[in-house]
Amino acid sequence: MSTFFALLFYLAFALFALGLGYKIYDFARTPAPLKIPTTPAPVNAGGVVLRMAREVVLFESLFKSNLWIWGLGWLFHASLALVLLRHLRYFTEPVWIWVAFIQPFGMYAGITMLLGVAGLWARRLFVERIRYISTPSDHLMLVLLMAIALSGLTMTFAVHTDVIAVKGFFLGLMNFNWQALPSSVVLYAHLLMVALLLLIFPVSKLLHAPGVFFSPSRNQADNPREKRHIAAWAKHMESEN
Amino acid sequence: MADIAAPAYRVIPIIPALKPGAMEGVKSFVANDKIQEALGFPGHLVEDWHDRAIAKMGELLGKYRSLKVYMDACVHCGACSDKCHYFIGTQDPKNMPVARQDLMRSVYRRYFTLPGKLFPKLVGARDLTREVLDEWYTYFYQCSECRRCSVFCPYGIDTAEVTMAAREILASVGYGQKYSNEIIGKVHKIGNNLGLPGPALLDTLQGLEEDVKEDTGIDVRFPIDVKGAEVLLITPSADFFAEPHIDSLIGYAKVFHATGTSWTLSSMASEAGNFGMFVGNYEHLRKIAMRIREAALELGVKRIVIGECGHAWRVAYSFLNTLTGAGDGADANDQFAMLLQKQLDQRYKQPMHICEFTWDMIGKGALSFDKEANDKHIITFHDSCNVARGSRMGDFAGGQFEIPRNIIKAVANNYVEMSPETTRERTFCCGGGGGLLTDDLIELRVKGALPRMEVLQQVVDEHGVNFMATICAICKAQFTKIMPIYGFDRRMVGGVHQLVSNAIRLGAK
């Protein structure tokens, strides 16, 4: 079993990194031929950084749109961030001080993360408009996240796992010095689903994470009169005149 | 045209329940082969439309980062789902921005993503069938590209970009829209959207000079094709003869007269509108914009000023520098742009909106007004979508909201705001923008105006508002047509420069 998970995580991480890397490269190389910031927009690069920061950290546009989606979505994402940071302790030795500091918060963030996802799923199930636009994969994505959170919480609060050994396993993966993974059904389930999440990340709507940084309506400065903006393929037309 | 009744106002602005298929029968006329071929598109749906459509989609995904990111980034959160005026007015779920995008996204997933190729049902991917293509035509011509959804999307996904791409694909396989493509043909051939030839234009302008003389006793000129004028005015051709548009044209002329500005219109570029944007075709967008560059170079003007027109101002403000070099800040070795940029007077913003021009002049004390002349009006202002969310005026973000309002307050005493949920960046489209201002879509236009009419009714009831000012030719045409259906007087709609015209002092200051 340890060998299976070792190979699975090498594969999942490799495909995640390569797939995501390729998508980011693909977004970056595709030109944005016209200035299309949604105005009013910042008039310089500094303003764009602030706008993007508000968008990524506070979900500003979502806040304007719908307080329920904003509240649940923000709760989920903020909790997820804490949970992920908490998990750094499985990959670092010694554990960084700030990771140790957030450890207790990270444990309870697992609960708020679950609440956030459950709320979002309830919206998807019970709000007519959102049910209409949902595909099976939209539902399954939330189920997957809930199952990951539930299995993790089970290990934190009920069926404890030998976390020292888990850490040994992952440090072993990183150092190419494989160690045994404790035998635990809940742990297996948790890791299997996390690997699945890594695998589907670069080919699913999870691309919203890198996508937001490349969205021209948010990342362009509003200065078309002051600075000529032209894509290479469009510039090419000018030589034909 | 059948009689169309206005939908009932919502008592409280609740989100409407879904009525699937409510608008599936509302389809604007398809362009015939003559119209299509004049623009270089196939005359009718080609036999291999499927392969050509997918190939075109691939091409656009490589040319437009917006399309690529917007296809991938949507998480179906539903933030946009209740934001479109066409959804609110029609209750058709395919008029929810996310559902409209998904008409294309489902095809994108099928042909361009791994999960869509392997498990189409799971991820909502669909083959591009004839039914899907027809659905594209129907619903991508029920979007006015107003960008309201993009304000509320956590990733800034702009349905307008998706709509433009879909229309470009449709036209390229021989499935173009009559209204937009016919107009693009006219502007290429005659110089303006209305097909008004040069001599008719001259006649109209002479008539206007006589009218204004009769009205005011003052010789206000409407010059055209004057070489060496300082300002080239580019204005929507509706300003030359449509009501109430023409009253704003008179307003611009009076502002130029009162400030002693030498100006000219151009018979070659007698149109500010650019339907190339509506159909998402860069080549036509550029070709139409190039007339402005050519007119500016030929007449040797120092400034380019744009009249009251929403999408024209978006094209001018956001795209004209890109398309034609009419702006500032080109690379020193960019000879194409430099030729024009050196000619233009860079102490001024290029191009400039007529509202920026007028407001600057008010600020300099070059204009004075009898505000009482507008006392019969209790005025509100409808922000036009393309101005509000696709452009700017002045030096600061949001100037496009402040400057027109400041002008109104400078020329009139009674001004009232509509609900802040429906103004500024949150404004609703008039219901007729983006290539939909055609009688074959009148049902859509009436229903799409619902959210604006509701809040207009509020200020009419509460404050006695009797004039809604706006700075867009399409808004003016749409409102004069559909407001009577909602029980309003069509003369309630007018331009900001119509109010300027009423109050401006023309004689000695």
* Segments of B292-346 assigned E as strands: 303-306
Average pLDDT over residues B270-288: 97
Instruction: Please report how the helices A185-200 and A136-157 are oriented relative to each other, as an axis angle in degrees rounded to 10.
Output: 140
pLDDT tens-digit readout, B451-485: 999 999 999 999 999 999 999 999 999 999 999 99
Q: Do B321 and A218 touch (CB under 8 A)?
A: no
Candidates B459, B455, B429, B422; CA nearest to B444 is B429
pLDDT at B249 over 50: yes
- Listed as own residue / partner, the contacts of B284-289 with beta carbons closer than 8 Å and 24 or more positions apart are B284/B39, B284/B184, B285/B315, B285/B319, B285/B323, B286/A234, B286/A237, B286/B323, B286/B324, B287/B188, B288/B184, B288/B187, B288/B188, B289/B315, B289/B319, B289/B320, B289/B323, B289/B324
Residue A208 lies in a domain: yes
Residue of A nearest to B426 (CA): A64
Average pLDDT over residues B437-442: 97
Residue A238 lies in a domain: no
| Minimal Cβ distance to B69: which of A27, A130, A133 | A27
Candidates B41, B328, B22; CA nearest to B173 is B41
| Minimal Cβ distance to B99: which of A59, A132, A217 | A132
The pLDDT, as a whole number, for residue B389 is 98
Residue A235 lies in a domain: no
What ipTM describes this predicted complex? 0.96
pLDDT tens-digit readout, A166-219: 999 999 999 999 999 999 999 999 999 999 999 999 999 999 999 999 999 999
Residue A111 lies in a domain: yes
Give me chain A's average pLDDT, please.
96
Kindly report the CATH number assigned to the domain that includes residue A213: 1.20.950.20
Task: For residue B63, name the pLDDT band (cuts at 50, 70, 90).
Answer: very high
Task: Round to whole Å and give the CA distance between B196 and A166.
Answer: 78
Candidates B471, B383, B470, B466; CA nearest to B429 is B383
If one counts the domains in chain A, the total is 1
Q: How many CB pairs under 8 A join A and B?
A: 226
Task: For residue B13, name the pLDDT band (cuts at 50, 70, 90).
Answer: low
| Minimal Cβ distance to A34: which of B102, B113, B319 | B319
Task: Please answer whether residues B163 and B280 qualify as being in contact, where contact means their C-beta atoms are separated by less than 8 angstroms.
Answer: yes
Task: Round to whole Å and give the CA distance between B87 and B99.
Answer: 10
pLDDT at B2 over 70: no
B182 part of contact set with chain A, CB < 8 Å: no
One-letter identity of residue B334: D
Residue A160 lies in a domain: yes
Candidates B305, B412, B293; CA nearest to B360 is B305
Domain range spanning residue A149?
A: 2-27+37-218
pLDDT at B509 over 50: no
Average pLDDT over residues B85-111: 98
Share of chain B above pLDDT 70, in %: 99
Give me chain B's average pLDDT, please.
96
pLDDT at A49 over 70: yes
Task: For residue B1, name the pLDDT band (cuts at 50, 70, 90).
Answer: very low
Measure in Å the smallest separation between the Cα of A152 and chain B Cα atoms: 24
Q: Which of A111-115, A156-160, B10-14, B490-494 has the lowest mean pLDDT?
A: B10-14
The pLDDT, as a whole number, for residue B508 is 52
Average pLDDT over residues B311-333: 97
Task: Please answer whether residues B36 and B171 qualify as being in contact, where contact means their C-beta atoms are separated by less than 8 angstroms.
Answer: yes
Residue A230 lies in a domain: no
Task: For residue B195, name the pLDDT band (cuts at 50, 70, 90).
Answer: confident
Measure in Å the smallest separation between the Cα of A84 and chain B Cα atoms: 21
Average pLDDT over residues B154-179: 98
pLDDT at A240 over 60: no
The pLDDT, as a whole number, for residue B10 is 85
